Each structure stands twice: as structure tokens, then as C-alpha cells.
Structure 1
Amino acid sequence: MKNALYWILLSLLFLGIQDARRAYASPYATEVLSDNPVAYWRFEDTSGSTATDSAGSNHGTYNNVALGQASAAPALGTAAGFNGTSADVSVPALGVFADLSIEAWAYIDNFPGGWSSLYNTDGCAFPCAHWQFVNLDVPRFEWALAGSDWSNGFVFGGGSWYHIVTTYEQGTGVASLYVNGQFQEHLFVLSGLVTTQSLGRIGSWGGGGRFVDGLIDEVAVYGSALTASRVLAHYNAATVPEPVSLVFLGVGVIALGVLGRRRATPPSSSTASRLSS
């Protein structure tokens, strides 16, 4: 009877943790959604070809992408894997913006010579948005908005996760880059509308070339310029542990410990005498 109770409790504990995780709202996703992204692809899909937009109806389509990959932190859930030769995610046209922010987590296994595109609008005719790594001497980040393109001084390395955010404000003409929550550089660019009015690609350039070899996660596009404090809040939220898992784990350890002690406790003398009689 005790053995059966032990295994029943263990099974219920496991199921409870799974249910709690499914119900758990990621603190990172909560921070992102509070800033009203136009589109937000979390890559939490476990099967199928649809890349779910957690902010609305701008769902994308997976092309040769490996789902369910480990992301940078538990709060980020799963990432999407890109093979460097044919994998990408096609996404809808999002609109025309005076201000714009693009955000993602990226892990690059290998930086080829040239470009690896995280996000771009197909047939990028200015003004447009393209967003990519460039490795002409060392890996840097390059983006094009409102008629100009630039690369920055921050040097990236393969085999590490990076949280990357770029912002653009039409009123000031200022574009900014943040890496891992920290401001890196301001650039003053031509003022004008930024468009993503053509179809977009995540992980390649227009579906032909500049493929990413690595992992991408939590891609978000905003029709506003995130502030430095909001960028840092997003980054910090990725390190918050899942509280429900910790609670269930603690309860489970206590319960199993109690049962284990009961199983290991020898029978009392009165019980032993009854068993021997």
C-alpha cells in the first residue's frame, strides 16, 4: 500500500509541475508584451509549420527550422534552430513606422564571411529594415533603416547567446544599439519613415542567402523606440526563475522525504509482537 502511495504521489507531482509550467506566464514575455509589440514570435511551437505571433495575428511560416531547441534561459522557453543553408521563417508585412525597435536573442554557431541575416524585409529597397551580422574582418552587427546602413564597434563571438535590440526615432534621427541590456552606440541617420511593408524573413536574406547558422529566439518588432530602461528590463526578466517549478519541487522533496522516512522506520515492538503471534 505504501509503495503504491509513493508512486501515485510521485506521478501527481510530475503532472502538477507540467501543468504549472504550461500555466506559467514567462516574466520575459510579460515584459515584452507590456511594450505593445506589433509582432512577437516566441518560437514556442512544438510542431507544424506555423510560427505563432504572441502579440497578434502576424503568424509566420517555418521553413526547414528545428523547433524545441534550448534557449538562453528557462524564462525564454524554447528557441528555433537554423541550419545555415536553407532554414528561415517567412513573416507578413508589418506596416510603416516613424519609430521602430527590433529585438531578438541569437546564438551563432558559425559566422561565415559576409552576412548572416536575423530579420529583413524582402527585396530591401530603402527605406526598409534589415538587421544582420556582418563578418568582413570580425563579427559585428549591421542594420539599415530610413535610407542608411551601418555597422557598429561591438565584436560578437560564436557559441554565445546575445540579446540584441536596435531602436530608431524619426523625430531625432537617432538609431541606437543595445547588446545584453547595455547601450552600445548612437547613430544619427536620415530622418524618414521606416517601412516593413514587404514580406519579411527571419534567419535569411529574402529567402535566398545570408542564412543563419545557429539559434534565434523571442523576435519582436515594435512601432516605437524602446527606452534604455525598458531594454534592460527585458534582458533582466530573462534571468527570473520559474516560481511554480520551485514551489512544486520543494513540496515534492518534502513529501517524498516524509514517505521515505515512513518506509524506513522499523515497526514498533507492539506491531512486531502482533506480527509474530
Structure 2
Amino acid sequence: MRVTPYFCLYLAMLTFTYDLVDSAEIPVQEGLVAQWDFDETTGQVARDSQGDLHGDLINFGDEASHWVPGRVGGAISFNGSNHIEVADDPSIGGDIQSAMTIMAWFKSNVALDAGGAGNRMLEKGNSYFFLQGVGSGGMNFLVKDGGANRTATIGESLEADQWYHITGVVDNGQARVYLNGESKNMINLNGPVDDAQMTLYIGSDDSGNHFNGLMDQLLIFNRALSDAEIISILQASEPDGPPEIVNAPVGDTVFEGGTLNLSVKANGAPPLHYQWFRGETILRSQTSNTLIIEYAQTSDAGDYSVVVSNDAGEVKTTPASVTITPITSISTGQVAYWDFHDNSGTTASDGSGSGNDGELISFGGGAFVDGKVGKALDLDGAGSMVVVEDSASLNGLSHEASIAFWMRLRSYGEEESAGSYTRESSYVLRKGDHLGIKVINDPGTVTRTLTIRSGIGADGGGAAKGGWEINAPQGSILLDTWHHMAIVYRNNTIA
């Protein structure tokens, strides 16, 4: 395979922190059988404040770093490979097969696409789940009924780094799911929820699929809560009084044509209202906690602030300075450019000036050959590759970026068995487990195309379809033909 890649990359990032407030008293106590507030500050046990259903932390690296500020008091932070185990007990199993309510606050580190799968927040072994997938929704409520999956779906995607509250209710032969107190879906059941008398997993399921993010105030009731009771629990978690700024907008530098994205976090009695300004100019269409300007122009530069208000008062943030960098040539924003014009040696030189030279590995000779534009690199599909050391410029790939290259394939890659058929795949580019660009020829999913996987843990290798990926049109990649591929990340979308 011959590959001639170059990169033109754009970066816009914001960071967030969260304040720690005392856990609110649960206003509904009747039927509450388990309560994990995750207010601990150290240790390897998550304590149940209603009884003795304490959970053992599994694969947490130290005593304290996983205990973090949460939505209500403290929270626990999962990294996508750890979880909590609570031993089976009738109070959270056999006693609640016909009526139950399960609820929790959560904030994912990755976006949870409605059409995705793989993120598992909770499972009581083969009984009830909070999970992404098995229906449309970034986080759904699934119960087992006679061994069959019954999923009450929320039907929408969920953003990363935002707190949500999910509630699952079983009552009278029905299962319901709520998001932020709003009823999203109801399904009929054929009988009580199965009780497999298995462990409760928090932060994962029992099959190795995990959750990556924060969880707070996990509650289990042995009865079906009413809509009003669910709302009352949410309201008890809300702060009172006039708005207070927790995180003000942070200034940023954005490339011309990129996306300006500023956010504010505030506490105060709901509902909170937002109005953004550039200098003294009111931006009448910008009335949420996040300001987004797509295809930013140099005229969008300036000092941005936001007024947050409620019935008790208002507060204005300090200005955040925004710079828009003009695009003067294809080299603007470029952090890596390999043209493979080196002709000889064991180095693929980076022409961007960022110093991201690559080392040629397992080339037997004749690595540099005639290409589509000057020279190209001839990879044998059997181990030859270019390895580029980790660098700050490459680690800065976030939010928005463009990746482009020429390629001409002799094959679609190494064959592997998929049971009743074989499939082929090969990497064009990979960085860790969070960015993978692959050629895929898989009759079971997509054929003769390019697949892009991005996001923390999104690329686990192999040809099998991942939980979140996008591909070029099927059949668009032909053998022995030059193709120019361009991948553009813009404002949480890929084209």
C-alpha cells in the first residue's frame, strides 16, 4: 500500500472544573433500599448510606484520585476500565422484580451518540441496566424479561462533559425511562424483571464494557416513584439563590473558518437565563450556556462576556478575549506534513516545521517510489510502517482538525475470519486508541471503504464495527487506483 499523508490541523479547547457542595437530603425516603452518594474522599469502598450494600472498587489505581467533586456533593470518576461491584441481595434483586426505581446523575467524558453502543453505566447481572445502545439513545434503561431485552430508550444523543439525570421505573408490567425528570419512553413487559441473583456492576456491565465519566447519587427504590417524586429529588439537588459563576468563559484562539465555542457554568435557582455579548454588542441569538459561532471570521474577534440571570438576580462574567487567526495558505495551522520526498534513508521528514519526523520500520529497501505527487512511500502490508514519536503538537488534536492523503491499494489488508465469511482491514493511520483511520472490506458491515474511529477508547483495533465510527461511501475505494481522501472534524461532526 502506498500512502502519502499530510495534515492541516486546527485546535480549540476549553477546560472545566466543578465546585463541591454538600449532598442534598433525599426528599423521598419511602422504599429507598440503596443509596450510594459517592461522597467518600479516600479508599476503595463505595458506601451505601441506607444499609450495608457497600461496593468494592475494582481496578482503581490509588486511594483518592477517583473521588472528585460531583453534581451533588462528591462523585466517583470512572476511566473506562474500572468499576464497582456490589454483592447480590434480595433488596436490589428478587424483591424488586415487579416494581422498582433506579436513578443516578452522570457526566460522560465522551459524547454518547444515540446510534452508538458500548458504554455501560450499570448492570444488575442479567436483570436491569443503564446502557448506551440496544435501541436509540445515548443512555437507556433495559430490563430482562423472560431472557429477552426490553429497552426503554431516550431517543437522543448526549453531550460530553454535561451532567444528566436518568431514572428507570418498573411498574405494573411497564418500564419507563426519564431524562432530567422528563418522561422519554414507556414499554410493556410480559412479566416481572428477571432475577439472576448476580452481582450489581456500577460503572460497567458484567461483560467488560465500561463507562468513562462521573457518576453521582445512585439510588434504588423498591417501588415505582411518581413523576412528582422524581422531580422533587431533582429539585432537591438544585442550588438556591441568585446566579453564581462557577466557570467563566475562557479566551481562545480560533482559525478563520473554524468554530468558536465558549461556555459558562453557573449555579443558582433554576431556571437560569443566558445572554452573550461581544464587547457592548448584544448577541441576541446566543442565549444558552454555550456560545457557538461556526465558520468564524476575523470580525468575530473580540472580548466576550455573558449575563446569567434568574428571578433572584443576575451576574456578568469578566471578558474572555477571542483571537481569530487568518488563513493565509495551506500551511496555516499545519502541524505535520510528510511528502515522502526523502528518496532514501530511514526517516520520513516532517515538512511542517513541527519536528514530527517519522522512523521507517521493517522496510527491506526501495521504500521511496514514484507517487501521485512526486514520491510516495511503498508499504508492504506485512509489517512495514512509519512511527512518529509522541509530541505536544500531535497531542493537541482536539475539537477541529483536517487530515488528508493520497493512497493506492494493492489489497484491502490482512484477512481475518468473521465466522461464515472473511473480512480484510488495514490501518492508514493510528494514534493510541482514540484515533484510527482504516481501510475496511467487511461483507458483514461495510465494504471497500475508509472508516474513521475517534474518541477516547473508540479504536480497539480489528475490522469489527466499533461503537462510534463513520465511513466513506461503500465501494468507493478501488484497488490499484489513486484516491485522495480528506477527513474534516468540525464542531463535533466529521465529513
TM-score of the superposed pair, with normalisation by structure 2: 0.39
Give the 5 Å matches for 1:57-96. Answer: 57-65=52-60, 66-72=65-71, 76-84=72-80, 86-95=81-90, 96=94
Query: Deviation per CA, 1:88-107, whole angstroms, max 9, x where unpaired?
Result: 01112132122111111110
Alpha-carbon distance change, 155 to 241 in structure 1, aligned in 2, over 3 angstroms = same
SS of equivalent residue, structure 1 residue 115: coil
One-letter code aligned to 1:149: R
Give the 5 Å matches for 1:1-277. Answer: 26-27=23-24, 29-32=25-28, 34-65=29-60, 66-72=65-71, 76-84=72-80, 86-95=81-90, 96=94, 97=96, 98-111=98-111, 113-122=116-125, 124=126, 128-134=127-133, 139-147=138-146, 148-150=149-151, 151-169=153-171, 172-195=172-195, 197-206=197-206, 208-241=207-240
SS of equivalent residue, structure 1 residue 114: coil
Alpha-carbon distance change, 140 to 40 in structure 1, aligned in 2, over 3 angstroms = closer
Question: Are the equivalent residues in 1 in contact too, given 2:55–2:85 (CA < 8 A)?
Answer: yes
SS of equivalent residue, structure 1 residue 198: coil
Question: Are the equivalent residues in 2 in contact too, given 1:107–1:214 (CA < 8 A)?
Answer: yes
**Paired position in structure 2 for 1:11:** none
One-letter code aligned to 2:202: I
Percent identity, please: 23
Query: Deviation per CA, 1:164-214, whole angstroms, max 9, x where unpaired?
Result: 001001xx31111111111112211212244363111001111x4211111
Question: Are the equivalent residues in 1 in contact too, given 2:55–2:87 (CA < 8 A)?
Answer: yes
**Paired position in structure 1 for 2:427:** none
Shift of 1:140: 4.3
Q: For the residues of structure 1 that align with 2:233 and 2:180, how far apart are their CA atoms?
A: 10
Question: Are the equivalent residues in 2 in contact too, given 1:173–1:189 (CA < 8 A)?
Answer: yes
Shift of 1:133: 1.9
| Aligned residues between the structures | 207
Question: Are the equivalent residues in 2 in contact too, given 1:93–1:196 (CA < 8 A)?
Answer: no
Shift of 1:121: 2.1
Shift of 1:215: 0.5
Q: For the residues of structure 1 that align with 2:134 and 2:187, how far apart are their CA atoms?
A: 20
SS of equivalent residue, structure 2 residue 159: coil
One-letter code aligned to 2:77: G
Q: For the residues of structure 2 that align with 1:59 and 1:35, how far apart are their CA atoms?
A: 20
Shift of 1:138: 6.3
SS of equivalent residue, structure 1 residue 30: coil
Shift of 1:67: 3.0
Question: Are the equivalent residues in 2 in contact too, given 1:41–1:220 (CA < 8 A)?
Answer: yes
Question: Are the equivalent residues in 1 in contact too, given 2:57–2:83 (CA < 8 A)?
Answer: yes
One-letter code aligned to 1:141: N
Q: For the residues of structure 1 that align with 2:156 and 2:136, how far apart are their CA atoms?
A: 12
Q: For the residues of structure 2 that align with 1:143 and 1:36, how far apart are their CA atoms?
A: 21
Question: Are the equivalent residues in 2 in contact too, given 1:36–1:55 (CA < 8 A)?
Answer: no
SS of equivalent residue, structure 1 residue 233: helix
One-letter code aligned to 2:192: G
Shift of 1:131: 1.9
Alpha-carbon distance change, 43 to 63 in structure 1, aligned in 2, over 3 angstroms = same
SS of equivalent residue, structure 1 residue 230: helix
**Paired position in structure 1 for 2:428:** none
Query: Deviation per CA, 1:51-74, whole angstroms, max 9, x where unpaired?
Result: 1001111111112344331212xx
SS of equivalent residue, structure 2 residue 183: strand
Shift of 1:134: 2.3
One-letter code aligned to 2:34: A
TM-score of the superposed pair, with normalisation by structure 1: 0.67
Q: Which has the larger radius of gyration?
A: 2
SS of equivalent residue, structure 2 residue 32: coil
One-letter code aligned to 1:186: M
Alpha-carbon distance change, 130 to 93 in structure 1, aligned in 2, over 3 angstroms = same
Q: For the residues of structure 1 that align with 2:57 and 2:211, how far apart are their CA atoms?
A: 14
One-letter code aligned to 2:218: V
After superposition, the CA RMSD in angstroms is 2.5
Question: Are the equivalent residues in 1 in contact too, given 2:41–2:68 (CA < 8 A)?
Answer: no
Q: For the residues of structure 2 that align with 1:61 and 1:47, how far apart are their CA atoms?
A: 13
Alpha-carbon distance change, 137 to 194 in structure 1, aligned in 2, over 3 angstroms = closer
Runs of 4+ in 1 over 6 A off after TM superposition: 135-138
- Larger relative strand fraction: 2
What are structure 1's unaligned runs of at least 5 residues?
Answer: 1-20, 243-277
Alpha-carbon distance change, 198 to 138 in structure 1, aligned in 2, over 3 angstroms = closer
Q: For the residues of structure 2 that align with 1:140 and 1:174, how far apart are their CA atoms?
A: 18
Q: For the residues of structure 2 that align with 1:223 and 1:196, how far apart are their CA atoms?
A: 17
Alpha-carbon distance change, 178 to 138 in structure 1, aligned in 2, over 3 angstroms = closer
One-letter code aligned to 2:150: D
